[in-house]
Structure 1
Amino acid sequence: MTTVAAYAVPAAKAPLARTTIERRAVGEHDVLIDIAFAGICHSDIHQAQEGWGEAIFPMVPGHEIAGVVSEAGPGVTRYRVGDRVGVGCMVDSCRQCENCAAGREQYCTGGGMVGTYNALDRNGEPTYGGYAEKIVVDEGYVVRVPDGIPSTRPPRCCAPASPCTPRSSAGAPVPARRSRSSAWAASATWASRSRTRWAPR
């Protein structure tokens, strides 16, 4: 376990507060990511205000994560230390159902996908998102940030025409349908200067 600094919502509709959280140890197929930026999506605000139903608190939002791999488990094959990567809205799924096999993990029927935050992982522990210094994620739910994208812009996982599944970069099929970005509707609930990106330091 690693203790890292983070910003959490302690209760529904409460303001973000600086705190510390525990990240799990890096496993066989995990990567440890030093978070450089995390976009603020309007869905983060909905979740923090319990606008979509009962939520898990304290909550560390953030699912538009960009950073650099600082450690890789011994079984990791896709990434190495120093790679620029991103994490979207999910960090796990059953990996065995028909939808997972087809690269549509967001529709997992074998227990459901595990959200990057406001969810319980396979061990029953709460997940915490990108408003933190570091995150540990299975390599199958990490995407590479292309060299042509500057480090000052987080991956736009909710943006128009972006695939919904993290494995699409590996050539897995994705649904043809794309959704419009909820980030377009972002409000000034949190500091307006932080609406487009949030840096943990």
Structure 2
Amino acid sequence: MIQSVGYAAKSVAASLERFEFERRDVRPDDVVVEIAYSGICHSDIHQVRDEWGGAIFPMVPGHEIVGYVTAVGSAVTKFKVGDLAGVGVMVDSCKVCSNCEADEEAYCEKGFVGTYNSKDYEGVLTRGGYSNNIVVAERYVHTISKKLEPKLAAVAPLLCAGITTYSPLRHWKIGPGKKVGIVGLGGLGHMGLKFAHSFGAHVVLFTTSAGKEADALRLGADEVVISKDAEAMAKYKGSLDFILDCVSAPHDINLYLSLLRLDGTVCLVGLPETPMEVASFSTVVNRRSLAGSMIGGMKETQEMLDYCAENDIVSEIELTTVGELDTAYDRVVKSDVKYRFVIDMKSLNA
């Protein structure tokens, strides 16, 4: 077994604390990654605090992982020791269902194995990236271009926030001639804004925070709307082709459905812990659609990482340490971070 150390939540009410555990021995198709940086996703907080239910403790969170390969199994072909590598939200899937065969492992019919707070198909609890290392089958490990190495900490959130926004924008064919709304300028929203702008769409950023207007414009918004301003919102009624809703707090989805033109779609990627109420007329008028999207599959996630390398796209981050996790979590909940915390895993040894 491989000795590991990380930070874990041992119960719903507890602060994360140092935790020693073991990872499996290297199998022929495994890659061992020494973790350099691990992003803090809002879903880490939801799961540590059991806001979605199903939490398994002790829980080592983290699914935005970048680092360096330290060992490979005998059958591995994509990686060698010293390579940059990334691990995202999943570490296994059934590989044989129609969705897996279509490179859509995120929608595995058996259910993919999450990087943490999940049990693999042998019943072993997975533990995530708030740790010094991780052992993952090669299929679920991503290559990272050397072009991104100088900004490696800012690459980590691409493994969740990046692909979570890239995938629906590609699926709904966002590009020139499309008018797109991005709701929320946080960890997800700022990446959705960067991608939609890079794809050539006209992008309208909706935020409750007047203080974020300048940042939104800097990151690629063509227009910024304060969503608490009813008069300002009314001007966009029936005008947008697509809206990517990145907000994880409860909010009125009907307001955004009203902004869609004929056959427009609101796609949810934020995950509030309470159900939303959708009024019937919010969808039947203008034949509007309300949809959702998860992360992408392995092929699409690699495509996204390669696109980011070629177009110099990374996340906007604040570095933090394992000793500051409680503060970081509280600030994420308050939307007081620009725009993603990333843990420097060297702090494990401090």
Shared fold (TM-score, shorter chain, > 0.5)? yes
Q: Secondary structure at the match of 2:158?
A: coil
Matched-pair contact (CA < 8 Å) for 1:66–1:155: no
Shift of 1:189: 7.4
Shift of 1:5: 1.1
Change (3 A) 1:198 1:74: same
* Counterpart position of 2:114: 115
Matches within 5 A, 1:44-193: 44-109=44-109, 111-149=110-148, 150-153=151-154, 154-157=156-159, 158-159=161-162, 160-161=165-166, 164-168=296-300, 190-192=326-328
Letter of the 1:200 partner, please give it: M
Q: Secondary structure at the match of 1:47?
A: helix
Q: Secondary structure at the match of 1:91?
A: strand
Matched-pair contact (CA < 8 Å) for 1:140–1:167: no
* Counterpart position of 1:196: 341
Change (3 A) 1:78 1:107: same
Shift of 1:146: 1.4
Change (3 A) 1:75 1:189: closer
Please identify runs of 4+ aligned residues in structure 1 that moved more than 4 A: none
Matched-pair contact (CA < 8 Å) for 1:31–1:139: yes
* Structure number with higher helix proportion: 2
Change (3 A) 1:164 1:13: farther
Q: In 2, Cα distance between the equivalents of 1:17 and 1:170?
A: 33
Matched-pair contact (CA < 8 Å) for 1:37–1:197: yes
**Which deviates more from structure 2 when the two are superposed, residues 141-150 or residues 189-198?**
189-198
Matched-pair contact (CA < 8 Å) for 1:28–1:76: yes
RMSD of equivalent CA atoms? 2.3
Q: In 1, Cα distance between the equivalents of 2:130 and 2:302?
A: 27
Q: In 2, Cα distance between the equivalents of 1:199 and 1:137?
A: 21
Q: Secondary structure at the match of 1:148?
A: helix
1:137-194 deviation line (CA, Å, top 9, x unaligned)? 00000111112212232241222325622233667xxxxxxxxxxx99xxx9732399
1:95-144 deviation line (CA, Å, top 9, x unaligned)? 000000001111111x2100000000111010000000000000000111
Kindly name which structure, 1 or 2, has the bigger radius of gyration based on alpha carbons.
2
Change (3 A) 1:146 1:161: same
Q: In 2, Cα distance between the equivalents of 1:199 and 1:119?
A: 24
* Counterpart position of 2:264: none
Structure 2's unaligned 5+ residue stretches are: 168-294, 304-315, 318-323, 332-336
Q: In 2, Cα distance between the equivalents of 1:130 and 1:18?
A: 13
Q: In 1, Cα distance between the equivalents of 2:13 and 2:114?
A: 20
Give the TM-score normalised by the residue count of structure 1.
0.86
Shift of 1:32: 0.5
Matched-pair contact (CA < 8 Å) for 1:6–1:200: no
Q: In 1, Cα distance between the equivalents of 2:158 and 2:13?
A: 25
Letter of the 1:71 partner, please give it: A
* Counterpart position of 1:39: 39
Matched-pair contact (CA < 8 Å) for 1:119–1:126: yes
* Counterpart position of 1:12: 12
Q: Secondary structure at the match of 1:161?
A: helix
Q: In 2, Cα distance between the equivalents of 1:170 and 1:161?
A: 11
Matched-pair contact (CA < 8 Å) for 2:65–2:88: yes
Change (3 A) 1:81 1:123: same
